[in-house]
Structures are given as structure tokens and as C-alpha cells.
Structure 1
Amino acid sequence: MFILAIASHFDVREHRIPNYLVFTGIVMGLCLTLQEAVEDGNLAVLHEMMAFAGRFLVVTAAFFLLFVCRMIGAGDIKTAALIFGYLGFGTGFKAVAGGFIIGAFWSLFLMALKGSTFQRLSYFLTYLRSLFQTKKITAYYSSSRDGYDAVIPLGFCMFLGTLLAVILV
């Protein structure tokens, strides 16, 4: 939770999550997995560490297309992968899905507040039409073109989703 809190702070303030923070989370996750396996008397330490790393890699690969389309940031993907690495697929799914739902409501609220709902939905449909017509993946979002007004700090949303998932489970 400490790593997620720091990551969400960076996401809100700087619109990015530093790689060193994600790397620290990976190292801590592997160390905690090792510690848990030793405390439980489990000799399959390598198996547990590989499971953590495997979950991290599977989630990173699963979200990669969203990054290629620039619909989600690389730091957000790595944050989601850390959540799955620590919590496993079941609770990790609840945490990340909760974060996405929080982000969706936040986004809808901001669009309604700014009166940009029709504009953003029109922009999204235009993007989809272009994607299907040209069959080329282009960036949905560009900070130089779109600014940061429409950006939702998804790392912060996933932190909140993880808090809810951990408290409610």
C-alpha cells in the first residue's frame, strides 16, 4: 500500500509514475514472497517468487494494447501489474476493476462538470472509426495535443480500488 500511495502521489502531481518506484515494488514483492514462503516452512520459494513475477508479466502483456493506443499510461499498467503480483488474480482483479470503475465515474463527473461529455464521446467514436477504417493503431491521447484536462490519474484510482478491495475482503 505504501508503494501504491507514493505512486498515486506522483500520478496526481506529475502525470507519471517513476520506474524506480515500480522496480522497488517488484523487489519488495519478491522479498515478501520469499519471507512468507520461509515463514510457512514452504520449500517452494522459487515457485512463489515465479508466481509473483508471472502475474506481473501476464498483466503487463494483457494491458499492453491499451498502452500502444495511448489510452493508458505505462506507469498505470505497471501499477496494475504490481497489484496483481501482490494480491493474486482474484483480489487483484477486484482491486484493479474497482480502480477502473472509480476512474470511470471520476471521468464522467469531470465531463459533466466541464460540459465536454458530447465532445469526448464524439472524439472517442471518431478515433474508433479511424481505427477500423485505416486498420492502423494511432495514439488516442497526446499530451501536446490534448493537454491534461481530460487526464484521470488512474494510479490514484487503482490505489483507492486496492484499499477498498483489501478492506472489503
Structure 2
Amino acid sequence: MEGKESENATNTVIKGVLCFLLSIACGYDYRSRRIPNGLILSCLIAGATFRWWEQGIYGIMEYFCNVLLTTVAFYLFFYIGAMGAGDVKLLGVCAGYFSGEKVLCFLFFALLFAAVFALCKMYLARNLWDRLCYLGEYVWDVVRCGRWKAYFAEERAHPGSGICMAGPVFCSVLLYIGGVY
């Protein structure tokens, strides 16, 4: 019984640490549109320590495997300019906290929240139709030409463009903590 209570206390602490670090990441991301590498490193160290504490060397290996696979999967979005490097790193580092079967749920909900945030932002800016038309033209151009190009290259210089991913990642983690998945 005491071992189970200790395990629950450890889980509560690491969830609290993750929420604390993600709330700091949200502050940076929404204020300056950047997530400091030191903060990403703090999340990485906390996650690796947590997985080592729970599962030993196997946990660390699974943690870094999840981080690597998620980061590589989302690198294409960074490459074309649809996501920032900090967003990709944050998704990867946070995906490592989850077991293999929970990673896809975490990513699904993070991207779902990002899509909802983006739709609300486009609705409020009254440019939903323009953005959807641009997306269609972009996809058609990539298919027709057979090569990737920068996505909305002219708007990336503007301070309000894009979605900060720290908020959707935080919301997805909160759903996990709340027992939704």
C-alpha cells in the first residue's frame, strides 16, 4: 500500500512540474512568440528523470524514442514554416512524458486545440475563407510542382501571424491529467 501511495505522489509531482513548466512556456510563447531552449531543456530533463524513476533504463529509452519520433514527424511543418522550432521541440519533449499508446492521443488533442484556436482566430479576423483558399492553392502548387515551398512566407514576419502551440499542448496535458485519455 505504501509503494502505491509513493508512486501516486511521484506522478502528482511530475504532473505538477510539467504543468508549471508548460505555464511558463505559455507565458513566453504568447508574449514573445518564442520558447527558450533552456525551458525546453528543463522539460526534457524532468521528463527523462520521471521516466527513469518509473521504469528505469527502459523508461528513458522509450522517452527519447517518443521525443525523437515526434520531433522528426513534425520537422516537415518547421521546414515549410508552418510551425516554429520551439513548437516542434515542445511537442517532442512533452510527447516523451507519455507511454507509447498515449502519445497519439496527446498529439491528437494538442493539434485539435490548435485547430480550434486557429479557426477562432481566423473567424475573428474575418479571413477564414481567404486562408482556406490559400491552403488549397498551396497544396495544389506543391502537388503540381513536386517540391515544398515556404507556407505563408510573407506573413511570418508579422507579429500576430500563426498559432502559439504552447497553449494547445498545455490543454492536451490538462486533458490527460483530468483522465480524458
Structure 1 residues 145, 93: closer, same or farther in 2, change over 3 A? closer
Structure 1 residues 21, 165: closer, same or farther in 2, change over 3 A? same
State the partner residue of 2:36: 18
Distance 1:12 1:90 in 2: 30
Secondary structure, aligned partner of 2:96 = helix
- Mind listing any 5+ residue stretches in structure 1 that lack a counterpart? 38-44
Structure 1 residues 144, 110: closer, same or farther in 2, change over 3 A? closer
Distance 1:142 1:27 in 2: 34
State the partner residue of 2:4: none
- Mind listing any 5+ residue stretches in structure 2 that lack a counterpart? 1-18
Q: Percent identical across equivalent pairs?
A: 27
> How well do the aligned residues superpose, as a CA RMSD in angstroms?
1.9
Deviation at 1:167, TM superposition (A): 0.7
What stretches of structure 1 move > 6 A for 4+ residues in a row? none
Deviation at 1:143, TM superposition (A): 6.5
Q: 2:65 aligns with which of 54, 65, 73?
A: 54
State the partner residue of 1:153: 164
State the partner residue of 2:136: 125
Deviation at 1:120, TM superposition (A): 0.8
TM-score by length of 2: 0.80
Match runs of 1:1-150 below 5 Å: 1-37=19-55, 45-142=56-153, 147-150=158-161
Matched residues, number: 162
Does structure 2 conserve the Cα–Cα contact (< 8 Å) formed by 1:99 and 1:158? yes
Structure 1 residues 100, 53: closer, same or farther in 2, change over 3 A? same
Distance 2:152 2:26 in 1: 20
Does structure 2 conserve the Cα–Cα contact (< 8 Å) formed by 1:83 and 1:96? no
